[in-house]
């Protein structure tokens, strides 16, 4: 008798997948002792190594280079990586068959978790990731928790309030803390996602059993939770709090606001913002050192101009580990990222503007404006946290999109909402949108809409207009729809009507600016 599939597999021992180098004590030690020059070499080495591996193992990447007339064998050393063409969604990811973008054989032989982009730029794009991505996230989160001042011996609750499901934020955060817990720091993890009711119920019923809470979520949603908690009988100051954010930038004023509301004391150790992506996972994070540099730059205009390329916009400043994801700055201010295992991305134009500099650069630039960085580190009491990892800074996209509770809002999707026959006699279709904050620091999407000539009042169509925009955004972005289901009133846009050709937003003869950054 032929054995069944299940009984036959009893006799076959599947070898355990080896854990990545990232979890080894020697790698953690390397992070602490390596110097700035070591990391500069590591950045070049990582990009060159990933390039050679992709040339060998990824069919789509070979085709991409052939189409551009690039001979991989002509790029012989790490010093010549600037000759490697950048890849992007437009010229690479959305051009080739999905399976050909992956390492040959990986889909059949690797245990994978799939993540989807939000679909904001078209159809969702799916990214396969391995344990290496989870372990890299674990390292960044482990470094944060070790620096945070939390007590390992006290009960700690991690609340994952990022979107769950196919989006990377919630699942990757859960995986990171799960691995930290397995490695010896006992944590309790709950994953309610962007569901306020579940979060407040959990804090009400099980919160009193914990002394420490780590709240993880999109910055505006974290703020909503912190602001709304008292109405549910929750006092954040009952716990020793820490906060982890991602998906968008925030100001130092916002950091101070969170600290004041929750009783957190240390601006360098209490709140961390993550620079991540669906494509590559956790790519870089704020550290006590990067927060110190950012705050110093805000106090000293000369340092601000030395560190950052734009004097009127405040970037997120983070440190990265080149072994995981290596960053470069393009000549036009683009930020290129190299990383990925199953679906490698070589010099990936991620769509952000910014720059890259080393720890040695930071020291030198501080010295040039009369600031002793070592003395400032000592004054901030963060000596024990400093690693000479390189820095990446980034500005959010200036004229292509805005963000609302972590969801990317593109002008094209608002345009669709305005293209409604019942509304056309009232509005021109021109608009300008911006993400604003009210006096209580609540985030909202403001859409300024131009009325047709001769139309004095848009109030009769306000409800229908808002409904049409929400419908379009929900159909275009999975993340927006998820937020709308869970926090409806927070993400419904606020519409402001303007007279025809009003000079503030709709001056005639000037190219329409669809997005305004405040």
Q: Tell me, what DSSP letter sits at residue 405?
A: T
Mean pLDDT over 397-409 rounds to 79
Is pLDDT of 9 > 50?
no
Both tokens assigned to 267: 């601006």
How distant is the alpha carbon of residue 439 from its chain centre?
A: 26
Q: At what angle do helices 462-476 and 478-486 cross, to 10 degrees?
A: 120
H or E stretch at 473: helix 462-476
User: Distance between CA atoms of 233 and 212, rounded to whole angstroms?
Assistant: 18
CA dist., res. 178 & res. 456, Å (int): 58
Q: Which residues contact 9 (CB under 8 A, 6 or more apart)?
A: none
Using CA atoms, how far apart are residues 227 and 248, in angstroms rounded to an integer? Answer: 19
Alpha-carbon distance of 264 to 184, in angstroms, equals 25
Residue 294 · residue 287 · CB < 8 Å: no
At residue 215, does pLDDT exceed 80? yes
Angle, helices 252-262/219-228, rounded to nearest 10 degrees: 30
Please state the domain extents for the chain.
126-395, 402-498
* DSSP three-state, residue 40: helix
The whole-angstrom separation of Cα 359 and Cα 376 is: 14
Q: Are strands 212-217 and 188-190 parallel, antiparallel or unpaired?
A: unpaired
Task: Report the distance separating Cα 474 and Cα 467, nearest Å.
Answer: 10
Specify the pLDDT at position 266.
Answer: 97
Diameter of the chain by CA atoms? 86
Q: State the angle between helix axes of 252-262 and 288-299 in degrees (0 to 180), rounded to the nearest 10.
A: 120
Q: Are 289 and 382 in contact (CB under 8 A)?
A: yes
Q: Report which secondary-structure segment, H or E, holds 451.
A: strand 443-451
Note whether 53 and 61 are within 8 A (CB). no
CB 152 within 8 A of CB 210: no
Q: How far apart are alpha carbons 152 and 150 in whole angstroms?
A: 6
- Do 431 and 413 contact (CB within 8 A), yes or no? no
The percent of residues in the chain predicted with pLDDT above 90, rounded, is: 68
3-class DSSP state for residue 464? helix
Question: Mean pLDDT lowest for which of 11-20, 392-401, 414-423?
Answer: 11-20
Token pair of 60 as six digits: 């789509």
pLDDT higher than threshold 90 for residue 11: no
pLDDT at 93: 95
Distances in Å between the Cα of 59 and the Cα atoms of 16, 84, 92, 285, 395 are 28, 17, 12, 32, 33
Rounded to whole angstroms, the Cα distance separating 141 from 269 reads 12
337-348 pLDDT, tens digit per residue, is 999 989 999 999
Pick the CATH number of 402-498 from 3.30.300.30, 3.30.360.10, 3.30.1360.30, 3.40.1160.10: 3.30.300.30
CA distance 122 to 436: 26
What is the SS3 assignment for 506? coil
Looking at per-residue pLDDT, the higher value among 12 and 405 belongs to: 405
Q: Could you tell me which CATH number the domain at 126-395 has?
A: 3.40.50.2300
In terms of C-beta density within 10 A (0-12 exposed, 13-18 middle, 19 or more buried), how is residue 86 classed? middle
pLDDT category, 3, cuts 50, 70, 90? very low
The 8-class DSSP code of residue 314 comes to: P
Confidence of residue 179 (pLDDT cuts 50, 70, 90): very high
Residue 10 is predicted with a pLDDT of: 35
Ranges of H-type helices in 103-195: 106-109, 131-147, 168-182
- Alpha helices by DSSP H, listed for 244-334, are 252-262, 288-299, 301-307
Using CA atoms, how far residue 284 sits from 119, 262, 272, in Å, is 23, 25, 11
- Strand 443-451's sheet: what is its strand order? 427-437, 443-451, 494-498
All residues at 6 or more sequence positions from 346 whose CB lies less than 8 Å from its CB, including other chains: 47, 50, 51, 54, 61, 84, 87, 338
CB 445 within 8 A of CB 404: yes
CA nearest to 328, candidates 38, 22, 40: 40
324, 136 in Cβ contact below 8 A?
Answer: yes
Q: How far is CA 240 from CA 200, 209, 264, 401, in A?
A: 17, 13, 7, 36
Confidence of residue 22 (pLDDT cuts 50, 70, 90): low
pLDDT tens sequence across 92-101: 999 999 999 9
- Mean pLDDT of the residues in the chain: 90
Cβ 284 vs Cβ 319: under 8 Å: yes
Task: Decide: 330 and 118 in contact? Cβ < 8 Å.
Answer: no
| pLDDT score for 6 | 33
Give 4's pLDDT tier (boundaries 50, 70, 90): very low
């Amino acid at each position: 008798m032929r054995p069944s599939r299940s009984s036959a597999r009893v006799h076959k021992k599947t070898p355990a997948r080896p854990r990545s180098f990232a979890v080894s004590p020697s790698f953690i030690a390397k992070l602490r002792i390596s110097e700035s020059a070591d990391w500069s070499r590591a950045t070049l080495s990582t990009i060159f190594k990933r390039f050679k591996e992709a040339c060998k193992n990824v069919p789509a990447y070979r085709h991409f280079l052939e189409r551009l007339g690039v001979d991989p064998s002509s790029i012989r050393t790490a010093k010549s990586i600037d000759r490697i063409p950048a890849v992007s969604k437009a010229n690479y990811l959305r051009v080739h068959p999905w399976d050909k973008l992956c390492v040959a054989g990986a889909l059949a032989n690797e245990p994978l978790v799939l993540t989807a982009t939000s679909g904001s730029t078209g159809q969702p794009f799916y990214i396969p990731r391995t344990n290496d991505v989870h372990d890299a996230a674990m390292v960044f989160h482990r470094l944060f928790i070790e620096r945070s001042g939390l007590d390992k011996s006290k009960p700690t609750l991690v609340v994952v309030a990022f979107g769950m499901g196919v989006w990377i934020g919630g699942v990757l955060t859960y995986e990171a803390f799960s691995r930290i817990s397995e490695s010896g720091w006992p944590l309790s993890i709950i994953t309610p996602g962007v569901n306020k009711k579940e979060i407040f119920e959990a804090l009400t019923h099980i919160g009193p059993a914990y002394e420490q809470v780590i709240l993880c979520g999109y910055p505006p949603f974290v703020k909503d939770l912190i602001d709304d908690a008292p109405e549910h009988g929750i006092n954040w100051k009952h716990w020793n709090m820490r906060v982890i954010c991602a998906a968008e930038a925030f100001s130092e004023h916002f950091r101070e606001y969170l600290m004041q509301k929750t009783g957190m004391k240390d601006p360098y150790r209490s709140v961390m913002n993550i620079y991540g992506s669906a494509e590559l996972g956790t790519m870089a994070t704020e550290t006590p050192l990067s927060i110190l540099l950012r705050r110093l730059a805000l106090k000293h205009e000369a340092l601000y101009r030395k560190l950052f390329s734009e004097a009127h916009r405040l970037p997120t400043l983070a440190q990265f580990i080149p072994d995981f994801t290596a960053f470069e700055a393009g000549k036009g201010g683009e930020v290129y990222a190299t990383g990925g295992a199953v679906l490698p991305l070589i010099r990936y134009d991620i769509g952000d503007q910014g720059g890259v500099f080393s720890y040695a650069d930071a020291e030198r630039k501080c010295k040039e404006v009369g600031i002793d960085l070592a003395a400032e580190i000592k004054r901030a009491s963060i000596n024990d946290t400093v690693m000479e990892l390189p820095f990446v800074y980034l500005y959010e996209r200036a004229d292509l999109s805005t963000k609302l509770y972590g969801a990317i809002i593109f002008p094209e999707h608002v345009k669709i909402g305005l293209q409604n026959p019942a509304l056309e006699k009232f509005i021109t279709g021109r608009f300008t949108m911006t993400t604003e904050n009210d006096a209580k620091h609540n985030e909202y999407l403001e859409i300024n809409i131009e009325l047709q000539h001769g139309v004095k009042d848009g109030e009769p169509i306000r409800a229908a207009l808002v409904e049409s925009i929400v419908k379009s955004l929900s159909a275009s972005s999975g993340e927006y729809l998820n937020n709308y289901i869970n926090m409806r009133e927070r993400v419904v846009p606020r519409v402001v009507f303007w007279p025809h050709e009003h000079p503030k937003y709709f001056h005639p003869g000037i190219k329409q600016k669809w997005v305004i950054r405040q």
